[in-house]
Amino acid sequence: QVQLVESGGGLVQPGGSLRLSCAASGGIFSLSGMAWYRQSPGGQRDLVAQITPGDRTSYSDSVKGRFAISRDNARRTVYLQMNSLKPEDTAVYYCKMTSHLSGRDYWGKGTLVTVSS
């Protein structure tokens, strides 16, 4: 029922910016917690940013001050604005929705961000 589709990834130079989008279908989007994770080649999938239904946000220390998560409930979309990108930010970025009713997590298939000169 729930489907998450990420977009906006690509190749960017160090210091550049990208905005990722995650469009959600199914579920009660406005009552669901949303998050962005990332996974480097050979690495673990790590939490990057979270946003609650009440628009409270939190960030990993590695991206705090550079990334911003936001949501548009009318468009059923969550965004990740990424500024001052570093090569260490290179990863596949995944969108996650946590169901308000069941607590079940739903994942998108990811979008690749490559930061390189």
What confidence score (pLDDT) does residue 41 get?
A: 87
pLDDT in tens, 13-37: 999 999 999 999 999 999 999 999 9
pLDDT in tens, 38-66: 999 889 999 999 999 999 999 999 999 99
What confidence score (pLDDT) does residue 62 get?
A: 97
Strand order in the sheet with 67-72: 3-7, 18-25, 77-82, 67-72
